[in-house]
Amino acid sequence: MSATDAEQIDRANSSDRTPAVFVHGLWMLASSWDHWLPHFEAAGFAPVALTWPGEAATTTEARQYPETIAGRTVGQVADHLAGLIGTLERKPVVIGHSVGGLLTQILAGRGLSAASVAIDPAPFRGVLAMPLSTVRSLIPMIANPADRKRAKPLTYGQFRYAYANAVSEEEARSIYERYAVPAPCAPPMQAALANFNPRTEVKVDCRNPQRGPLLVISGGKDNAIPWALANGAYKRQKRNPGVTEIVELHGRDHALTLDSRWREVADVALAFVRRFV
């Protein structure tokens, strides 16, 4: 447990509030949720932005020492986050973006969340679509099998296409310079091969009645995780007896949690979890 995680968890446990756990995805750090935390705190939650195992404390450190996160797999990160959530005294709501949205669904499938929101979630086994824009977005990470145990950054051009294609050039570059860090190559490789590997870690228990309510949010112009993938996750999750909903935010890309209109996304997530917690 990092010092940042410990501090946030202690603060949540000492409050009388339901924790709101935030899970980031690839090329980001837990600090990418910094603008969401006070928003949810003002709404009455105890916000906790959890780190991945080995995650650097700052973007500067993450860019300088990518090996600290290299080789991390979906299963390792999911187990790490589950352990951290287990130290919370109240069952939290969990909100995740991209691979964080996949991890959110894995955690919900283990019965660890009171309500969950998966934003532009990476696909899991059983989601069969593989749009060309997703393949193009992931090529820098999956093209070379030897990179599986490495961590790699995206160039600005790659980030612009995969992450920030629906905002202005100025805003896209600002997001890239402020937030983008190297990411482990293993998770996208695992996701790409999930439907060919019955033992994959990239699988979700969609039928667990303890999953709790789940909302999937899709950015209508997301190149990395377009509607076909978000809707594929929704259709699998509809098998659950709990509430399962999906919302498409038109004109939004993969950077929808970070750009100047992030509050719109936060309010959709907040309205959903408030219905149940």
Q: Give the per-residue pLDDT at 205.
A: 97
d(CA 65, CA 53) in angstroms, rounded, equals 14
Query: Where do the structural domains in the chain lie, given as residue ranges?
Result: 3-274
pLDDT-based confidence at residue 2 (cuts at 50, 70, 90): confident
CA dihedral 139, 145, 150, 154 (to 10 degrees): -10
Cα angle 220, 224, 230 (rounded to 5 degrees) comes to 55
Give the residue-averaged pLDDT of 168-192: 96
Q: What's the pLDDT tens digit per position in 39-95?
A: 999 999 999 999 999 999 999 999 999 999 999 999 999 999 999 999 999 999 999
Q: Give the per-residue pLDDT at 162.
A: 96
Q: Is the pLDDT of residue 226 over 90?
A: yes
**Contact (Cβ atoms closer than 8 angstroms) between residue 80 and residue 112:** no
Q: Is the pLDDT of residue 133 over 90?
A: yes
Q: Give the per-residue pLDDT at 112.
A: 98
Q: Give the per-residue pLDDT at 1.
A: 81
In single-letter form, the type of residue at position 129 comes to A
Q: What's the pLDDT tens digit per position in 205-216?
A: 999 999 999 999
d(CA 169, CA 175) in angstroms, rounded, equals 10
Q: Give the per-residue pLDDT at 155.
A: 96
Give the residue-averaged pLDDT of 165-171: 97
CATH H-level, domain 3-274: superfamily: Alpha/Beta hydrolase fold, catalytic domain (3.40.50.1820)
Question: Considering only 142-146, 204-208, 247-251, which range has the smallest mean pLDDT?
Answer: 142-146
Mean pLDDT over all residues of the chain? 96
Q: Regarding beta strands 19-23 and 115-119, do their DSSP bridges make them parallel or antiparallel, or are they unpaired?
A: unpaired
pLDDT-based confidence at residue 14 (cuts at 50, 70, 90): very high
pLDDT-based confidence at residue 26 (cuts at 50, 70, 90): very high
d(CA 60, CA 260) in angstroms, rounded, equals 23
Give the residue-averaged pLDDT of 153-166: 96
Q: Regarding beta strands 19-23 and 93-97, do their DSSP bridges make them parallel or antiparallel, or are they unpaired?
A: parallel
**Contact (Cβ atoms closer than 8 angstroms) between residue 95 and residue 104:** yes
